[in-house]
Amino acid sequence: MDVELSSNFLKRARRLSAKEKGKLSESTEWFRRDPHDPRLKTHALTGKLKGIYSFSVTYGKRVTYMRVDEHTALFTDVGSHEDVYR
């Protein structure tokens, strides 16, 4: 899977700790290989966030993304559950 990064995602990723950045890098690699890797806990969001997907980076951090096409995802946000599901 190809991955594009939004400016919001990049801004929020810069704020992560070094350990979280390492986990984000690892999770992104898993995502590129298989977006449905069970370690990611990938799922579609509902309600006002319908059409957006999420996967876990750590227990407390998530990435939200949108599908651009069948081979490309746009990462839109990264942060805590409360931050990204607002």
pTM of the predicted model as reported, rounded to 2 decimal places: 0.92
Q: Which of 4-8, 15-19, 20-24, 80-84 has the lowest mean pLDDT?
A: 80-84
Compute the average pLDDT of residues 7-26. Answer: 96
Give the helix, strand, coil percentages of the chain, each rounded to 5.
Answer: 40, 35, 30
- Mean residue pLDDT across the chain: 94
Domain limits, the chain = 2-84
What integer pLDDT is reported at residue 82 of this predicted model?
78
Q: In the CATH hierarchy, which top-level class contains the domain 2-84?
A: alpha beta
